[in-house]
Amino acid sequence: MSMKAQPHAKRLMAIGECMVELVHSAGDSYQLGFAGDTLNALIYAKRWKPDTECSFFSAIGTDTFSNQMMKFFELHGINTSMVARSKNRNVGLYSIVTDQYGERSFDYWRDQSAAKVMMSLHKAQSNALEAMDMVYFSGIGLSILSDADKEELLALIEAHRAKGALVAFDSNYRASMWNGSQHAQIWFDKAYRISDIALPGLDDHKSVYQHQNVNDVVEYLTKVGCSEYVVKAGTEGMYGYKDKRLVHHRVFNPAPTQVDTTAAGDSFAGVYLISRLTGDTMAQSIQAADMAAREVVQHTGAIVSANAIERVRNEFCAQRLEEVDVYE
């Protein structure tokens, strides 16, 4: 008697940089951790759907912090086969100071970060192109690379897409990391054109494209050919579009207590993408991602406890059948 082949676990790869994170706490003390926008999203994706395989494409050094960082990846169930190592570069560092409203200010030390030359490191180490179901990258990951390496990264992503992977892009704009908004616009255009799913922030598009409202963003993304996107519009909420049609609008529902907005967008991205990848509707995926982000802002630091996310996931599973979407 023949046995049915078991479906393979979905595979999500995130591309970007992980840094040492110093979070200001009481007095002059700081709490040390590790974080980065796409890595944060990857960790939350893994927590939301533990059966998926989540891989990180990046580079780190061989210093003490780099070794601790590698252990951190493994602790969170992240596949590290695509993390290149540099003998003469280390990892970047940033500090977070949070005000009384939970809003953050950052300082960075990343000039010698191995992730800034990840493309040449991977080329030197001849890492093979592994099959993926989805590849996720962001404006921050693009911004740290030279323009030549940006081209190489986009070519790598297109190669994954040619092999059947969905491509997801989050604008995540940081003005200080670009040579002006026009420079960012050139590369965002290229990124959006090779993406199947986009997670644009309205504030990002106001800064980069001078878009004034959700309709401006929608018109632009339709023009460049994105088939699915969620526009994060602050107090207006989240607008989900599929095949040029508004599929779901979820109003902004602030958390009961906002302690720290670090990784709110990252957790939203990770949970949304893994939910879509594993078959949830857009409405369900936005609901799940919103619930996760609302939980994350009630805690300090980028990565909250696994128990907190498990509790939210259980709440979502109990509610999801009650979610009625008027657009679908």
Angle (CA) 35-38-40 rounded to 5° is: 45
Pairing of strands 19-24, 53-60: unpaired
Q: How many whole angstroms from its chain centre is CA 40?
A: 7
Give the number of other CB atoms < 10 A from CB of residue 231: 26
Structure tokens at 322: 């009650």
Pick the catalytic residue: 37, 133, 204, 266?
266
Phi, psi torsion values for 197, nearest 5 degrees: -125, 135
Distances (CA, A) of 77 to 52, 82, 213, 307: 10, 14, 39, 15
Give the strands of the sheet with 228-232, arranged side by side: 83-85, 53-60, 11-15, 134-138, 166-170, 197-198, 228-232, 238-242, 245-250
What's the CA gap between 171 and 175, in Å, rounded? 12
State the Cα–Cα distance between residues 271 and 130, nearest whole angstrom. 23
Let me know if 266 is a catalytic residue.
Answer: yes
**CA dihedral for 49, 54, 58, 64, sign (positive or negative):** positive
| Three-class SS state of 51 | coil
Give the whole-angstrom CA distance, residue 147 versus residue 229: 26
Q: How are beta strands 245-250 and 238-242 bridged, if at all?
A: antiparallel
Q: Give residue 44's region: left, alpha or beta (phi > 0; psi -120 to 50).
A: alpha
Give the catalytic positions in this structure: 266
